């Protein structure tokens, strides 16, 4: 895991509270499962049909029948349940998830999310993201702040196909944490080694600064 991703994962795990039902998207979000405190009673749900996902298995202990939505082998905690994808999506669409943490390709200053395809590149399908952003009680997006070319991924308007409009509750990057409200995009936390000026240079979107801005 890169330092940027590790920083995101360490910060994002604090969004998960004891007693929650949570869905973790593919990519960076799946890495959060191993960081959840062992004394937390948290049920992780996969749209592939598993409620009660545990940590990644140790090498040699993988079970090919136990996978998450990203087709990675996982473990199941005691008391986990298995069901078909129709039941899994009924949970999502019925509003039974307290939180979903998803990866992102772009997020706009209005809280729009683009995370399912890049035009011209092969895509296996939209997956469950569109259902998750409309069905979960809270949507947190995790992603690196800039792309491999150093271009901002936090934009005034998303240029990629949207997953959902004005659906993001909180955005966590390796540089900052933003919240979204009717007042716009608000900077809530900033990484210790990052200055406001540096953040503005790497952020296309307009944002205000919370009066109780913290570091992480």
Quick: pLDDT tens for 76-92: 999 999 999 999 999 99
Looking at 26-35, 85-94, 169-178, 186-195, which range is the least confident one? Answer: 26-35
The string of DSSP letters for 73-136 reads B--EEEEEEE--HHHHHHHHHTT--SEEEEE-SEEETT--EE-S--TTS-----TTHHHHHHHS
Fold held by 3-215: Glutaconate Coenzyme A-transferase (3.40.1080)
pLDDT at 127: 80
Q: Which of 10, 50, 51 is nearest to 34 (CA)?
A: 10
Q: Where are the domains of the chain?
A: 3-215
pLDDT at 124: 73
- Burial of 29 from C-beta contacts in 10 A (0-12 / 13-18 / 19+): buried
pTM: 0.95
pLDDT at 166: 98
Average pLDDT of the chain is: 95
Average pLDDT over residues 130-137: 97
Secondary element (H or E) of residue 26: none
Active site residues: 47
């Amino acid at each position: 895991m890169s330092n940027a991703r590790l920083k995101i994962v360490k910060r994002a795990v604090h969004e998960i509270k004891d007693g929650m039902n949570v869905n973790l998207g593919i990519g960076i979000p799946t890495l959060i499962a191993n960081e959840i405190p062992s004394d937390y009673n948290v049920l992780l749900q996969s749209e592939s049909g598993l409620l009660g996902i545990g940590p990644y298995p140790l090498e040699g202990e993988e079970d090919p029948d136990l996978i998450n939505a990203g087709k990675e082998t996982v473990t199941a905690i005691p008391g986990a349940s298995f069901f078909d994808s129709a039941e899994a999506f009924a949970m999502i669409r019925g509003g039974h998830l307290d939180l979903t943490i998803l990866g992102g390709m772009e997020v706009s200053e209005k809280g729009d999310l683009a995370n399912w395809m890049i035009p011209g590149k092969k895509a296996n399908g939209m997956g469950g993201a569109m259902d998750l952003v409309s069905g979960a009680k809270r949507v947190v997006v995790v992603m690196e702040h800039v792309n491999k070319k150093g271009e901002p991924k936090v934009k005034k308007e998303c240029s990629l196909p949207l997953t959902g409009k004005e659906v993001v509750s909180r955005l966590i990057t390796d540089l900052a944490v933003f919240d979204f409200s009717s007042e716009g995009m608000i900077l809530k936390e900033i990484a210790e080694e990052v200055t406001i000026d540096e953040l503005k240079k790497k952020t296309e979107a307009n944002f205000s600064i919370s009066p109780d801005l913290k570091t992480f």
